[in-house]
Amino acid sequence: MGPGAPVLAFDVGGTDIKSALFDADGRALGLRRTPTPTADGDRTEALIARLGVLAGELRAAHPDVTPRAAGLVVPGIVDAEAGLGVFASNLGWTNAPLRELAAAELGLPVAFDHDVRAASWAEHVLGGARAYENSVVLVIGTGIAGALLVGGRPYTAGGYAGEIGHSPIADGPVCACGARGCLEAVASAGAIARRYRDATGVTPDGAKDVIARAAAGDPIAADIWDSALDALTLSLAQLTAVVAPEAVVIGGGLSRAGGALFDELRTRLAARLSFHRIPDLVPAELSGNAGILGAALRAREVA
């Protein structure tokens, strides 16, 4: 990550937490995953306590490194300026003052952000978006999340910007959010696998298996993959018309489909658009570590 202040970093997900202590040379010490605390309803208290334990273990394991700040990134709707976890259905909180609580628990200044926005910042500084001032970073995995960088800075709109996974497409299935026709209900890796299982009764080995079956001539798999590509193309075309990003950086599990995803999207997007500037479609470079790197970069800003 490069030289700078030593910091703690935490990337919280619905199932696990990534934690690490970054030293003055930017090396991630003690990087590991631990389960996110389980609790009925709001998990705020249990999460903050877990962060305290993880920080104590990292400090004890590396007594020669003294962190000067911490970075905390979480999913859901996040108001980074106010330090609030506005809403996260899988973690149970509403308007939780996570930055304030984490700072009190850790005894450090805390930088707080949305996980995908933090990942997009890491891609902008260190990865696939670093050559662009205006870009969109998409993470396509169990769901679909996005973040916008405009003029080299995140565009947040109070935490509500970037929810491309819940942009509507025509005649789609009901999404987990309760709306009908959301992009992620058709084109996320999770949705692709689920739709194949529902159509055939066969549980595939993830979206990659469905894509392989489509390439091998399975007509049901081909139809599901084709509709996913069409949905992604439509959403990217709408995004291009409104925001005109120079690049769309795609990460998450589906990005590992390689040319089956990127080449198809390039061809379909070019066919759908006319006078618009067609964005570069590029793979994310930081893989599963973008979120925690983004947390560390943000932490250095308040150290």
Residues in the chain, total = 303
Residue 224 one-letter amino acid: I
pTM greater than the 0.75 cutoff: yes
Q: Which of 74-78, 101-105, 243-247 has the lowest mean pLDDT?
A: 74-78
Res 122: pLDDT: 96
Task: Tell me the average pLDDT across 106-130.
Answer: 95
**Phi–psi pair at 137, nearest 5 degrees:** -110, 125
Say what the pLDDT of residue 292 is: 97
pLDDT (mean) for 176-198: 93
Predicted pLDDT of residue 30:
97
Instruction: Tell me what the mean pLDDT of segment 68-73 comes to.
Output: 98
Distance CA 176, CA 184 (A): 9
Run of H or E residues at 297: helix 290-302
Neighbouring CB atoms inside 10 A of 160's CB total 11
pLDDT given at position 132: 96
Query: Is the pLDDT reported for residue 89 higher than 80?
Result: no
- For helices 219-243 and 189-200, the axis angle rounded to 10 degrees is 150
| Residue 284, CA distances (Å) to 2, 22, 65, 183, 227 in order | 19, 22, 30, 20, 23
pLDDT in tens, 252-293: 899 999 999 999 999 999 999 999 999 999 999 997 899 999
Query: What's the whole-number mean pLDDT along residues 11-20?
Result: 92
Token pair belonging to 173: 């299935």
What is the arithmetic mean of pLDDT over 237-245?
A: 95
- Shared fold status for 7-120+288-302 and 131-284: yes
Residue spans per domain, the chain: 7-120+288-302, 131-284
DSSP 278: P
Q: What is the CATH number of domain 7-120+288-302?
A: 3.30.420.40
Q: Which residues lie below 8 Å from residue 221, measured CB to CB, with a gap of 6+?
A: 196, 210, 211, 213, 214
- The whole-chain average pLDDT of the chain stands at 94
- CATH class of the domain comprising 131-284: alpha beta
DSSP string of 166-212?
G-B-TTPPBPTTS-BSBTHHHHSHHHHHHHHHHHHS---SHHHHHHH
Q: How far is CA 61 from CA 1, 58, 126, 235, in A?
A: 21, 5, 27, 46
Question: Where does the pLDDT of residue 88 fall: very low under 50, low under 70, confident under 90, or very high at 90 and above?
Answer: confident
| SS (HEC) of 61-100 | HCCCCCCCEEEEEECCEEECCCCEEEEECCCCEEEECHHH
How much of the chain exceeds pLDDT 90, in percent?
A: 83
